[in-house]
Amino acid sequence: MTWKQHFTSSVGKKLVMAFTGLFLISFLLIHVYLNAQIFLPDGKEKFLAGAHFMGTNALTRILELGLVAGFLLHIIQGLMLWNQNSKRRSNGRYAVKAGNATSKWYSRSMGLLGTLVLLFLIMHTAQFWIPNRVHQFSTGDEINLYDKMKDVFQNPIIVGLYIIGCISLSFHLVHGFYSAFQTLGMGTKKYKPIIRSIGIAFSIIVPLIFALMPIAFYCQWIG
Ligand code: HEM
């Protein structure tokens, strides 16, 4: 298989989706861990210390480039797979819709759920990451991200959009988590139940903690 075919064959596309997906899942774990500091006593100081560390050291700057590349590859390959599957369906290659009887709606809607997560991500980076980097470049200082969150999450529409984003992420992860391991050959009879259970727990707990952040600021459980 040539390098080009690694990216363009069906198996190649699925492998890219699996590797980038697992990379993004590890990013989510770090992100939720750092942000969840806001729920602890002295949460503001703890969160700001973590955000300062992440925002100012060279290693995380380099990892950030990897993150952008990971997101872009995952999105581009995902759209190509989505397009390929829709074409097959419209060509009648999946004429007998037996899949519908066995697969869940969210497994068949990965493209749609991924697009909702992408829309969420565009809004999210425009609210936090972009203003913070622009501020850092122009003044050398970071924005106080805790106060920024408190401010952004006073708007109930934004809070609602974050909740929709987190629900979309949850369903996207339920299928994506297991599917990534399956692509990598680990969905065997022995490991399937363990991977499924860890995947479902991750897909519920992580988006739930994320969703509680805007809710907590809006309801003034934290301040
Ligand atoms: C719902 C609760 C969430 C809150 C309160 C939150 C908060 C934040 C904040 C304050 C930053 C700015 C970091 C900085 O400027 O250094 C950030 C960055 C980011 N967030 Fe979130 N986030 C949430 C959920 C998510 C989710 C669900 C995703 C992914 C699906 C996500 C993806 C990102 C990305 C990609 C960045 C840029 C990371 C970087 O610094 O390179 N966030 N988030």
Query: Is residue 7 within 8 Å of 16, Cβ to Cβ?
Result: yes
How much is the average pLDDT of 121-129? 97
Query: Atom of ligand 1 at shortest distance to CA of 71?
Result: 35
At 94, is the pLDDT very low, low, confident or very high (cuts 50, 70, 90)? low
Query: Atom of ligand 1 at shortest distance to CA of 51?
Result: 16
Distance CA 117, CA 24 (A): 13
Nearest CA to ligand 1 atom 41: 64
Which one of 46, 124, 158 would you pick to mutate in the ligand 1 pocket, going by the greatest count of ligand atoms within 8 A of its CB? 124
pLDDT digit string (tens) for 197-210?
A: 999 999 999 999 99
At 223, is the pLDDT very low, low, confident or very high (cuts 50, 70, 90)? confident
Please give the radius of gyration of the chain, using alpha carbons only, rounded to the nearest integer: 19
Distance CA 148, CA 81 (A): 37
How much is the average pLDDT of 45-53? 96
How much is the average pLDDT of 36-60? 94
For domain 7-218, give the CATH number.
1.20.1300.10
The mean-pLDDT minimum among 5-14, 24-33, 97-106, 147-156 falls in 97-106
Distance CA 152, CA 161 (A): 12
At 19, is the pLDDT very low, low, confident or very high (cuts 50, 70, 90)? very high
Return the domain boundaries, the chain. 7-218
Q: How far is CA 155 from CA 38, 112, 119, 132, 162, in A?
A: 19, 26, 18, 20, 11
- 117 has pLDDT over 70: yes
Q: How far is the CA of 124 from the centre of ligand 1 (A)?
A: 7
- 98 has pLDDT over 80: no
Handedness of CA 30, 70, 201, 44 (dihedral sign): positive
